[in-house]
Structure formats: C-alpha cells, structure tokens
A and B are shown apart, each in its own frame.
Chain A
Amino acid sequence: MSQKQLLNSSEMTVTLQRLACQLVENHTTFQNSVLIGLQPRGVALAERLVEILKNDYDLTDVEFGKLDITFYRDDFRRSGKVLEANTTEIPFVVDGKRVIFIDDVLYTGRSINSALTALQSFGRPLEVELLCLIDRRFSRHLPIQPDYVGKHVDVINEEKVKVNWSEDNKENSVILIDE
C-alpha cells in the first residue's frame, strides 16, 4: 500500500477559501440558497464552508442541512455489505430554494444520483448545484458534473482518494492510497 499527498493543509485552506468565494459570487447573500452536506463525509466540508462564509463574508445565517442517502442507494443488497445510516437533518423547507450539494470526492456520480432522489422527499427545489473538493475525472457512470471543484485528479480505479479533516484544520490533507 503506497500513499501520495494530493493536497496539504495550506493548499486545502486556499482551496476552501476559493470555493467559498465562488459560492458568494453566485449566491451573494444566500437569501434563497441552502447548503446540504452529504453524509457522512460531505458534512465536514460543508461545516468548514459555513464557517468561512460566517467569518470572512459576514454571512451568519446561511442555512445548512445534512442529507443521508443510505436508504436511497442503488447498490442495496448488491454490494454484499450492510450500510449503516447516518442522521438526516434538513431544518428548513427545500421548496423553491437554490440547493448546493456538498461532498468531498466525486467519483462515479451514483451517490449524487441517490441524493437527488432523496432530496425529492423534502420538496421541489428551484435548482440544485454540486460542489466537491475532489473531482475524479473520467470515472463517471452517470451524466453528473460538479459546478464548483476544489481540484481535479486523474486516478485509476484501484486507487482511493481520502480526505482527512483535523479538528483545528491544521492537519487537513487529501491523499491518494494505492491498495
């Protein structure tokens, strides 16, 4: 097993700030926009973006939810393992809102497909955008593309991309693991 670092902590800080800036560019005051982190790993990214929007742009009441897609997965009973669900918390009405999905790594696009189905249970959003920290290019199984990307990487299928978050953000990293 070998590892290679794709982003180090300071690079990640810059990337997160750029992503937050791009969000502000498109959503200005977030009056009608909501962030939804996808469980489990998108939530950590979403929380950091909410933090930056609050501290750097004075956007103190950006609405933020968590969406779990376990019960909507298309590989239930196919993958040979049981997946444990996570909490879903959508404390606002989704109807007519501009929703931004947030996930750490975009790979086949199947999770996003399930998330789009899951979101329908909460109403009809005006539009849905996708933000991801890492886009694994050329590996999509479905016609799904991100609107905001931290970094594009070209990775072969056997390799795994892992995003590590530390409590104080000083040891965040993105690594490539070759199993």
Chain B
Amino acid sequence: MNKMKELSVNHLLGIKYISEEDIQLIFETADHFKEVINRPIKKVPSLRDVTIANLFFENSTRTRLSFELAEKRLSADVVNFSAASSSVKKGETLVDTVNNILSMKVDLVVMRHPNPGAGIFLSKNVNASIVNAGDGAHEHPTQALLDAFSIREKLGDVAGKKVVIVGDILHSRVALSNIFALQKLGASVKVCGPLTLMPKHIAHLGVEVEPNLDRALAWCDVANMLRVQNERMDNSYFPSTREYVQQYGLNLERLQKLNKEITIMHPGPINRGVEITSDVADSNQAIILNQVENGVAIRMAVLYLLASKIKNYD
C-alpha cells in the first residue's frame, strides 16, 4: 500500500501555521503534478466533485490565473468573483458575502483580500477550506511555497542555502511568507533595502538586515528581487526612483562583479529598469518564468491535499 500522509491543517492561511513536514509533502505532491502538467493532456479528474470559489477583493493577474489553471487541471468546478463588480460595493460584510457563495455548495475558497488576517477571520466564521492568496501585508503562502520549490529545483535543496530578499520588505507579504518558509526549510535569510522599508521588528524573525546590496549579493546564493509597490507607497520612503535604482536595482554590472553565479528570482510583475534590469531578468541566472510554471504545480498540490481532507461522503 502507499503511505498515508496528510496536511496538519485544514486551511492554508500562512506559512507560519504549517510545519516543515507539510511543506515537504506539498513539494513531493507538486513534483508529481509538475509531471502531469507536462503531459500532452494536462488534466486529472481528482477534484471533479469539488467546487472552488476564487474571491479576489484585490487586483491580481498572475495569482488568479495560476489558481484558476490549477483548479481546472484538477477538474474542479470554478467560480470567480472580483470585488470591483460585486455587492461588496453595496456594503455587504465579508462573512455574508462568503456565506452566500457557500450556500451555493462551494467546498473550497481561495481568497485575496487587502486586510491582513482576512483569511484567518474567515476560517473561523465559515464552513469551508480557505486558501489565502494574499492578505494585505501579512502572508502569501503559495508564492513562498513556489519560490522555495523553485530554489529546490534549481539548487537541489533549500537547506543550507543563503537567500537575500531585496526591496520593500515593509509592505511585502511575499517577503514575510518567504522568510517563514525558507527558515522552516533550513535556509538562512537576509533582507536588503532602504531602512525606511524595513519593518521595525524584523530582527525578531531571526533575519539580518543588510543595507548594502553589493555586500548582500556577495553573501547570497539566491537573490529574490521584490517589486517596488508604488500603489502601497503612501509616504515618501525613498527620495526618488532614480536613487532607488542606483542603490537597490540589480543590473548586469553588479552581477559581473561577483566571482560566482547566483540565482535571481522575482515574484512578478517586474518593473523593468527599477528593481531589476531587462538583461538580468532575461538572463540564464533568472528563474522567473520557472517560478510561474511551478506556481501551477504548487497550487495543484495545495488544493489536492486540502480537498482530500474535506469529507463529503461520510
């Protein structure tokens, strides 16, 4: 018989709430799904009796497409919802919105929301499995999983690797989830960026701040370049984009100064010429498009493992 393993949680709300074993199980399952999505017919019937609602209260292209594709390749029924065109604008509460959708017999909810903790709140108030697809500046667990999965694929293992996350750490849910995931898998993590964009208590996470990009690059095996999130810049965190580019933009010249080849990642969407130049983003060292491909496999694995815990037939 095959071994029986399952996730320790019923929802994926953040990397903080899952164990290293959970992450490894998701990776092993994603390995198999990666093979599936490279077949001539990229679809399996596993979730043909599962209905999934994608609730996006905040804009997203990549993550939403990736989730939708993952759901469809597992044969789930999918309903999409975006806040811009919904009754949320008419003043409906989150719990009401979701319960209305659940009364249409939805088993699983994938949600992106501008408020940190929205997924956790929902998981306590509605009867469905919740997958957090990004909640404010809190967590974005599937992004962290696909990032770590891509490092594992490129470098063989995550344990023992040195990863620097560069850019706007303060507003970044990708950074927080990445820090949790990488540390659980045994990597060491530094963050790099303007001190105005560093969270106050970052040291409590066991993460060192390195304000100098060149020193950070010399130290690391992997550099994860975050996007400058102009839409979240409610203050002047740095004097000008030009100055940010000079200090924290990754370009070919900086890479060539290193006497080693590092792996470059970016969660997308890229501001070309700001945090990363085009020649670097399109180079062989960048695994940005692999990250996107792995995103579908990781999300298939997460949905498959969570769905297997929903018992409809007891």
Q: Which residues of A contact B (CB under 8 A)?
A: 40, 68, 70-73, 76-78, 80-88, 117-118, 120-123
Contacts and interface: CB of A to CB of B under 8 A. Distances in A.
A86 B308 contact: no
Main secondary structure of the interface of A (DSSP, over half): loop
Interface string B91-130: 0000000000000000000000000000000000000000
Contacts of B261: none
A73 B4 CA distance: 15
Given A120-B41, A121-B39, A80 B28 contact: no
14 contacts: A40-B2, A70-B2, A71-B44, A71-B45, A77-B310, A78-B313, A82-B305, A82-B309, A84-B3, A84-B4, A121-B36, A121-B43, A122-B39, A122-B41
Nearest to B25: A84
A77 B312 contact: yes
Contacts of A118: 44
B interface, size bucket: 20 to 34
Interface string B1-20: 01111100000000000000
B40 A88 contact: no
B307 interface: yes
Contacts of B46: 71-73, 76
Nearest to A69: B44
Contacts of A76: 46, 308
B201 interface: no
A104 to B, nearest CB: 12
A120 B36 CA distance: 12
B311 A80 contact: yes
B35 A77 contact: no
A78 to B, nearest CB: 5
Contacts of A81: 4
B29 interface: yes
Nearest to A81: B4
A72 B45 contact: yes
Nearest to B43: A121
B44 A87 contact: no
A113 to B, nearest CB: 12
B260 interface: no
A82 B45 contact: no
